[in-house]
Amino acid sequence: MTDYNTRAMEARKGSPFLSTQQAAFYLSLSARTLEKMRFNGKGPRYRKHGRYVRYHIDDLDAWSEGREPGRHSDDGERS
């Protein structure tokens, strides 16, 4: 079994980009939930690196705090 927590922590040290599995673990979600959110245009911002989906740790933190990077929760948009 893969230890996603260790991989996420190592990734944070070396690279700010996490795989779907690492990002899901970081957010305490299942990878499937994160994939569904991405498919529905919800959830944290992601990037495509070739054929791979990657999440930047800062985007995960911002989404977890309830706002997009550079946006405030009081901008009038409700989730």
**Interval 8-30: pLDDT, tens:** 777 667 788 999 999 999 999 99
Chain length of the chain: 79
Indicate the pLDDT class of residue 75, thresholds 50, 70 and 90.
very low
Q: What is the pLDDT of residue 79?
A: 41
**Interval 23-67: pLDDT, tens:** 999 999 999 999 999 999 999 999 998 999 999 999 999 999 986
**What count of other Cβ atoms lies within 10 Å of the Cβ of residue 23?**
28
Q: Closest by alpha carbon to 53, among 14, 28, 25, 18? A: 18
